[in-house]
Structure formats: C-alpha cells, structure tokens
C-alpha cells in the first residue's frame, strides 16, 4: 500500500522534515534485519485525534527490544510523548504510526552489541489494509506452504523487522495464487496466524484464537477483541486449532492494528459459513470501530488523546 507523505518524522529525539529522514546504506538493520517495530493507529474522535492503546504498543516495543538485547536510549514515557507529538505536529486527524528501533551505522558483523540503537516514529494516513471490499464482504485465505517461525528459531512475541521476510514470502505466494491473504501453520502443525494479523474462528458458538506458543504474535487487537467479545456475552477460548477447523468453521475473521477486524469468506476455497460475514464477526467488527473512536465508555482506557 502506498505511503502518503506527511511533514515530519521524529528521529532520535528531533523532528526531522520527511525528506530528510534517511539512513546510511551500511546501517546494520538493513543488512541483518536487526530492528523492532510497532504499528499503531490514531483515530478521529469528538475530542480530536486519539491513539489507540498507545501505552500497550510502546510496552511491546520495549519488550521486543529486550528480547533482541537492544538498549533503547529513551524511556517508554519519552517514546509515548514523541508518538503523540508526531500526530500533533503533522496535524493528522487519523493515521497509521510506525515506531521503529534499529541498529544503526558504524558496526558490521553478527555481533550487534556495540551497535548504536536508533529510534524513529513516522505517521501517515492509511486506509483499509485489506481493502474496503474485504472489510465489507470478507477475504479469501490460503494456507501457506511457508511455516510460521519455530519459537526457538525466532521469538513470536517479538515484532522483529527481519522476522517479516517470512510474512512477505507467504503473502506473495497467496497473492500470486489469487488469494487475499495467507494463513501460516506452526512447525507443530497448528494454525498460527496470518502475515500481519491474528486469526479468530467461531465453532459451535464459541470464539477461538491460537496461542502465542503456536507462533502467533500476542496481538493487541486480539486482546481488544477478546475483551469486546466477552463483554458482548460470547464465550472465548485461546487454544490450538487444526487446519480442518478452518475448513469447517462457522465464522472466521482476522484482526490487527493495520487490518482492524476483517471477515473471511473462504479458506483454500472452502466457503466459510454462509460465505458472508457472520453475526459474531459483524458485532465485534462494529464494536471495535466504535471503541477505537472513543465512543464506548467502558473502553475509554484504551484511548490516548494527543491534544
Ligand atoms: N500478527 C502479525 C504477524 C502482525 O504483524 C500483526 C500486526 C498482528 C499479528 C496483530 O497485532 P496487533 O497489531 O498488535 O493487533 N501487524 C502490523 C504490521 C502490518 C504491516 O507491517 O504491514 C500492524 O497491523 O500494524
């Protein structure tokens, strides 16, 4: 999806004009994928722009960095304040935000410990990640021939930049085969997640999602969906799912910050339920859209106003 340029990007403590936010070609992160990042959305509310679950995203950014032994030279509070200022200074009503921590220029080779750690935060307006049509009528999934990372090969709990080569290969395979998105299985044979989204299945009226031990990111949207679903009175379980569970599910949807809540219409050409978004999916999708815009009192703790 194309990027819409905004005015300024926060880099290592300073606001830099968009065009000047550059790095050297020998940056460690470019060669070895040594970085961690977050994807965050801000939404228009009746009190101006608000960032959804900002503190939780920044906490995960720091956890990811800890896993890879990257010492972020700012406090979590500083990164939170910087994130708010990026939305403010670019006069954005709503946007997608991309904080990234990466090993910089100056050292080469596989031992990263001497590398300087850089931090940047960009923000730009971004539409429906899997398309408006998919949001409304559902998308077509294909199970990938690529597996999700084994937890002892790459840590699923971390959002490491280099880890996304795996997602990209799965995405390309699915798109070239005529599907919208790929589902990755774990090395142990269980359903893990999609290339940039967690996955939920409805079976016998119960909402189920795979655990992190199946290689899935501990999604922040996933946890929002679990809370919303329970508040709507649905039964929710976190458990391993088999490939066949996807073929026979009554409803399936994906969720993530960029994607939001997206219905699935088929998996490997097996039509999901009636082939159109199911009741639970629609109820959760619409409550999520209200919650992110600060319109639901019980979810106000998820909202950080930037003003
Ligand atoms: N799994 C993966 C692999 C993943 O990348 C994401 C987010 C999720 C699950 C959902 O996590 P959360 O956003 O906390 O609910 N993917 C981000 C990046 C997408 C992209 O770079 O493209 C996102 O949604 O921002």
Residues with beta carbon inside 6 Å of ligand 1? Answer: 39, 167, 193, 196-198, 217, 219-222, 256-259
Phi, psi of 298, rounded to the nearest 5 degrees: -70, -15
pLDDT of residue 1: 83
pLDDT of residue 24: 96
CA of 197 to the centre of ligand 1 (A): 5
Is 90 exceeded by the pLDDT of residue 2? Answer: no
Q: Which residues are catalytic?
A: 159
Strand ranges (DSSP E) for 206-290? 206-209, 235-238, 251-256, 260-267, 270-271
Q: Report how far residue 84's alpha carbon sits from residue 123's, in angstroms, rounded to the nearest whole number.
A: 10
| CA 114 from centre of chain | 29
C-alpha gyration radius of the chain = 19
pLDDT of residue 161: 98
Chain segment 220-240, per-residue pLDDT in tens: 999 999 999 999 999 999 999
CA of 198 to the centre of ligand 1 (A): 8
Q: For residue 307, what pLDDT band results from cuts at 50, 70 and 90?
A: confident
Is 90 exceeded by the pLDDT of residue 248? Answer: yes
Query: Residue 208, SS3?
Result: strand
Question: Any residues with CB less than 8 A from the CB of 36 and at least 6 apart, and which?
Answer: 61, 64, 65, 68, 70, 100, 101, 102, 158, 159, 160, 161
Q: Give the helix/strand (H/E) hosting 27.
A: none
CA of 39 to the centre of ligand 1 (A): 7
Chain segment 119-159, per-residue pLDDT in tens: 999 999 998 999 999 999 999 999 999 999 999 999 999 99
Q: Which residue has its alpha carbon closest to ligand 1 atom 22?
A: 196
Q: Which residue has its alpha carbon closest to ligand 1 atom 16?
A: 196
Probe target for ligand 1 pocket from 51, 58, 193, 196, with the most ligand atoms within 8 Å of CB: 196
Q: Are 254 and 210 in contact (CB under 8 A)?
A: no
Cβ atoms within 10 Å, residue 40: 25
Q: For residue 297, what pLDDT band results from cuts at 50, 70 and 90?
A: very high
Is 90 exceeded by the pLDDT of residue 72? Answer: yes
Question: Any residues with CB less than 8 A from the CB of 110 and at least 6 apart, and which?
Answer: 32
Specify the ligand 1 atom closest to the Cα of 221.
15
Q: Which residue has its alpha carbon closest to ligand 1 atom 5?
A: 196
CA of 306 to the centre of ligand 1 (A): 22
Q: Report how far residue 253's alpha carbon sits from residue 232's, in angstroms, rounded to the nearest whole number.
A: 16
Place of tokens 């999934």: 141
Domains located in the chain, CATH noted: 8-124 (3.30.470.10), 132-292 (3.20.10.10)
Q: Which residue has its alpha carbon closest to ligand 1 atom 3?
A: 196
Chain segment 195-223, per-residue pLDDT in tens: 999 999 999 999 999 999 999 999 999 99
As a whole-number percent, the residues of the chain with pLDDT over 70 amount to 100
What is residue 3's DSSP assignment? Answer: P
Q: What is the pTM of this model?
A: 0.97
């Amino acid at each position: 999806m194309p990027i819409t340029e905004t005015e300024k990007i926060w880099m290592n403590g300073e606001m830099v004009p968009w065009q000047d936010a550059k790095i050297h070609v020998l940056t460690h992160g470019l060669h070895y994928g040594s970085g961690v990042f977050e994807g965050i959305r801000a939404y228009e509310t009746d009190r101006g722009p608000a960032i959804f679950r900002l503190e939780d995203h920044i906490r995960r950014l720091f956890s990811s960095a800890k896993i890879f032994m990257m010492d972020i030279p700012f406090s979590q509070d500083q990164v939170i304040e910087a994130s708010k200022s990026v939305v403010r200074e670019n006069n954005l009503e709503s946007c997608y935000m991309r904080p990234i921590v990466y090993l910089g220029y100056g050292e080469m080779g596989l031992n990263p410990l001497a590398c300087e750690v850089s931090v940047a935060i960009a923000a730009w307006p971004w539409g429906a990640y899997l398309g408006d049509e998919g949001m409304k009528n559902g998308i077509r999934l294909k199970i990938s021939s690529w597996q999700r990372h084994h937890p002892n090969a790459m840590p699923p709990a971390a959002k490491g930049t280099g880890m996304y080569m795996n997602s990209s290969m799965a995405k390309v395979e699915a798109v070239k085969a005529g599907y919208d998105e790929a589902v990755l299985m774990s090395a142990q044979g269980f359903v893990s997640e999609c290339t940039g989204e967690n996955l939920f299945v409805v079976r016998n009226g119960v909402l189920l999602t795979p655990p992190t031990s199946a290689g899935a990111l501990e999604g922040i949207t996933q946890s929002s969906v679990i809370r919303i679903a329970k508040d709507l009175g649905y039964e929710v379980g976190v458990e391993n799912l088999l490939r066949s569970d996807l073929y026979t599910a009554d409803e399936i949807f994906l969720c993530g910050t960029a994607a939001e809540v997206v219905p699935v219409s088929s998996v490997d050409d097996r039509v999901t339920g009636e082939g159109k978004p199911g009741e639970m999916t629609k109820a959760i999708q619409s409550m999520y859209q209200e919650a992110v815009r600060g319109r639901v009192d019980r979810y106000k703790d998820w909202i950080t106003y930037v003003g």
